[in-house]
């Protein structure tokens, strides 16, 4: 025997918090945007292919416009010349937005320790999940997507995310 609305309407109604309903929908409808610059971009293609099928996790709608995406997957080497472009893409994404740094080059510069290569994209934009490897396995990318789904389920629609992040391109 339920209390309140459930007692009067039976099994035809579910009561919940607005945060929980919205976060449940968000967590199973990630719209990724792939920013693939090197070999990790090819590895991301295998994640979306039939064998691994990222659509099982609600992330099959790969967008190529930052204004339609909420999950940025940076796959590959980022140079200092590309850093302002990456920052602009991240700024154009709608809130809430998440970032996956995929591969050794995006996470730490990889084996490119020179004056042109950014030593990790976390110098420019905040990163939610790091996927290690050169190249990373598709299972690791799927695991990062599932961890972001778990994190997105516990967020509030009232609080802003990542407002205090200052990267090297911020004034």
User: Which residues carry a binding-site annotation for [4Fe-4S] cluster?
Assistant: 39-40, 105, 134
- Taking the mean position of all CA atoms in its chain, how far away is CA 158? 20
Q: Which residues pair with 100 in a beta bridge?
A: 73, 129
Distance between CA atoms of residues 35 and 127, nearest Å: 14
Q: Which helix (H) or strand (E) holds 101?
A: strand 98-102
Q: How far apart are CA 13 and CA 9, in angstroms?
A: 7
Report how far residue 29's alpha carbon sits from residue 25's, in angstroms, rounded to the nearest whole number: 6
Annotated binding site: 39-40, 105, 134
163's CB contacts (< 8 A; 6+ apart) are none
- Comparing CA positions, the residue from 124, 84, 85 lying closest to residue 106 is 124
């Amino acid at each position: 025997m339920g209390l309140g609305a459930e007692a009067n309407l039976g099994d035809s109604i579910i009561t919940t918090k607005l945060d929980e309903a919205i976060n449940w929908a968000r967590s199973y409808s990630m719209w990724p945007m792939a920013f693939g610059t090197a070999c990790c971009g090819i590895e991301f293609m295998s994640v979306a292919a039939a064998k691994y099928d990222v659509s099982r996790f609600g992330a099959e709608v790969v967008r190529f416009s930052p204004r339609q995406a909420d999950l940025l997957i940076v796959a590959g080497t980022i140079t200092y010349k590309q850093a302002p472009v990456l920052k602009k893409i991240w700024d154009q994404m709608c809130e809430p937005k998440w970032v996956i740094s995929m591969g050794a080059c995006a996470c730490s510069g990889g084996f490119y320790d020179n004056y042109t290569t950014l030593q990790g994209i976390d110098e420019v934009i905040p990163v939610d999940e790091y996927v290690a490897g050169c190249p990373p396995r598709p299972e690791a990318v799927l695991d990062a997507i599932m961890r972001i789904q778990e994190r997105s389920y516990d967020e509030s629609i009232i609080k802003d995310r990542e407002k205090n992040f200052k990267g090297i391109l911020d004034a």
